[in-house]
Amino acid sequence: MKETLRYLAGIAGPSGYGSKTTADQVVRSSSSSPHHHLTAIITGATSGIGAETARVLAKRGVRLVIPARDWKKAVALKEGIEKENPKAEIILFDIDLSSLASVKRFCTQFLALGLPLNILINNAGIFSQNLEFSEDKIEMTFATNYIGHYLLTEMLIEKMVETAEQTGIHGRIINLSSVIHSWVKRECFTFTQMLNPNKYNATRAYAQSKLANILHAKEISRQLKAKNAKVTINAVHPGIGASTSCYVALSTQAQELSGKYFADCNECICSALANDESGARRLWTQTRALISRRLIADCNECSCSALANDESDARRLCMLTRALIHRRLQHQITTPS
């Protein structure tokens, strides 16, 4: 009850911010100077909280990398930000977070640019009213909100560690969760059932994916601390705006905090299930095994040998075949029947 009243009144917490604090206010006071040296990837940035996060970070000089499923919306976002801030640097990519192959392709393309990576905001999320499955045969909400971001983080985390080592600036990963993660009951949080539920309930599926986002942050934080890496990862309940995401991404107060859960720009208590360290480790292990199986299966179905991928040999074979056909045709023309 006390927390509800605090939220409604917009009373500031220990950070000095509250539910009525805007993202612009958070970022203006996060540092006295712009952040031209930072690069951030934001998923789900073409609308809602993600779009506001992108706008505010770009305003502070952060280079934005926007992987998006809807290219027209991505272009519109880019044009809108550039109209407000002509100096903004925004790079667009295609991605479908529900597809492991698409996530892998985006990461490969981004890493090929050779850019640093300081901030990763796993913002994208869907609420699927009906039971649907991704191309990898995973329930769509879980595939998009959790599995896709898991793989994205796994493929980019070494780049973030490397960037932090080279620059001395802490890298930051933010997983968007939700307060409704606390609705999930332990007996309902079963990995195989989340992948392929017997009885689908849209709200339960969404809540489970948001609990998974927190557990993911907890386990990755543990792994990063064990490596003494200068990269943090936290989960946030965004509420109705982008202020908490921007606070955790840029505030000096949050710079070394990791494995935490934030709401209204303040550290909060999450559910007992979200604090289960062994559960977090188990979920991470199960997810890694699942993705490995799926990607290996894709390779077995789609890949061919190195010799079959040799482009110069392919061109040479084509030329020889054409020459052979030409000689055969000439022979048929000059030989009397």
Distance CA 302, CA 188 (A): 36
Token code pair at residue 248: 């955790």
* Residue 200 known to be catalytic: yes
Instruction: Determine which one of 7, 17, 200, 206 is catalytic.
Output: 200
Cα–Cα distance measured from residue 56 to residue 93, given in angstroms and rounded to the nearest whole number? 20
Q: What is the C-alpha separation between 153 and 48, in angstroms, rounded?
A: 22
Between the two ends of the chain, the Cα-to-Cα distance in Å is: 100
Q: Six-digit token pair at 90?
A: 């925004």
- Decide: 23 and 242 in contact? Cβ < 8 Å: yes
Q: Based on the number of CB atoms within 10 Å of its own CB, is 49 exposed (0-12), middle (13-18) or buried (19 or more)?
A: buried
C-alpha span between 197 and 191 (Å, rounded): 10
Q: What are phi and psi of 320, to 5 degrees?
A: -65, -40
Helix (H, G, I), strand (E, B) or coil at 109: helix
| Interatomic CA distance for residues 85 and 138, integer angstroms | 40
Token reading at 204:
């339960």
Catalytic residue annotation: 200
